[in-house]
Amino acid sequence: MLVDFEILKDNESEIKSFKDLTIKMRLVNKLDQSNVYHFDVLCNILMSSGAQKFLFDLNDLEYIDSSGIGRIIKFKKSLNKPKSDVVMARVPQNIMKIFKIVKIDTIIKIFLSVDEAENYLKLI
């Protein structure tokens, strides 16, 4: 799994902490048992640094297994602070079919575009 991430300011005001930012991660190739630990460590480091808004861009994700799905759900549930959320955007059709079966779309908001997801996160 390759993770490309970007830090986005939510508004034009001064950045005082990670709480003022959105972490946008583009997941590439696969998120499975072989690499989910690294994903988990990265997310937990960012969260423990104060980050509260996460956008996972899955456009380039080709495969996800139950361990990857489980970690995303676990991460979402661990962010139970006000003004925090985990959202996903640009989910490929083959992965969306799996998400519908396991009903992840009832737990995590899924957007068609990154812009929609970013706009949503700016409002919370």
Q: Which tokens hold the place of 97?
A: 């079919």
Q: Global pTM?
A: 0.87
52-109 pLDDT per residue, tens? 999 999 999 999 999 999 999 999 999 888 889 999 999 999 999 999 999 999 999 9
DSSP strand pairing (61-64 vs 85-89): unpaired
- Whichever domain contains 58, its CATH number is 3.30.750.24
Domain holding 115, by residue range, is 2-123
Give how many domains the chain has, as a whole number: 1
What is the C-alpha to C-alpha distance for residues 89 and 111, in angstroms, rounded to an integer?
A: 5
